[in-house]
Amino acid sequence: MIDVLVVDDHAILRAGIRSRLEREPDIAVVGEAATAKQAVERSAALTPDVVLLDMLLPRRSGCEAIPELLRRSPRSRVLILSSQAAPSWVRRALAAGATGYLSKRASDRELAAAIRGVASGEGYVEPTLGARLVVDNSQGALDALSERERDVLQLLALGYTNQEIAARLYISVRTVDTHRAHIMLKLELETRAELVMFSLAHGVIGG
């Protein structure tokens, strides 16, 4: 049986979550909390397998409570269940020690599957949130390119050779090689095909 502590400052939402989880034969709600302080105290007392934690709580956010919660109840795993879906929120929660992140729009099946996965030690991020996180990270990597690296990226994606790029940009072939290596490293790409797909996805070249 997977023991779950439900943390949300809205009693009606806690009741709804409890009702959803009571239909699962292998999941039991062993407690509830409405604040970050209560979440820490009840996690320490109940040592649940999973703490289902909202990000927005009064006085202290769920994210801020995660490190202390895990110190007080080290066997517990934290699964965020939040209306906040921005990539920055997901990154903050995972960096603080959460094992998973789920939006409040998730279906009953997704919620149960996420709890089971997190309880077994597997990381879980709702697929739509994970996709946004990947895109956001990729955009950040693209923004890290220098102006010259962006020029080289565009020409590489359009199919120009290193020699042709060198001629068009009035730089040496060796410099093009260096820029290309930096681009592939920063964007975490390995092949020309991946570079082209990345460029299409992020508007570096037109489709």
Tell me which DSSP letter residue 179 carries: H
CATH 3.90.1070.10, domain 144-201, yes or no: no
| Domain residue ranges in the chain | 2-134, 144-201
Q: Which helix (H) or strand (E) holds 134?
A: helix 127-143
| Residues listed for the chain | 207
CATH code: domain 2-134 is 3.40.50.2300
- HSE at residue 38, side-chain half, CA atoms within 13 A, is 16
> CA-to-CA distance for 91 and 103, rounded, in angstroms?
14
- pLDDT for 83-118, tens place per residue? 877 777 787 888 888 988 998 888 999 999 999 999
Q: What is the mean predicted confidence (pLDDT) over 48-57?
A: 94
What is the pLDDT at residue 185?
A: 81
* Whether pTM exceeds 0.85: no
- Side-by-side strand order, sheet with 50-53: 27-33, 2-7, 50-53, 77-82, 100-103, 124-125
pLDDT of 128 strictly over 90: no
Q: Which helix (H) or strand (E) holds 7?
A: strand 2-7
Q: Which residues of 46-76 are buried (b: 16+ CB within 10 A; e: fewer)?
A: bebbbbbbbbebeeebbbebbebbbebbeeb
Tell me which DSSP letter residue 99 carries: S
- pLDDT for 130-162, tens place per residue? 555 555 566 667 777 889 999 999 999 888 999
What is the pLDDT at residue 16?
A: 95
pLDDT of 126 strictly over 80: no
* 134, 165 Cβ separation under 8 angstroms: no
CA distance to 73, 126, 150, per residue, from 179 (Å): 48, 36, 9
Any idea which of 23-37, 52-66, 137-151 has the lowest mean pLDDT? 137-151
Task: Provide, rounded to the nearest whole percent, the portion of the chain with pLDDT above 70.
Answer: 90
Looking at this protein, which amino acid is placed at residue 134?
A: V
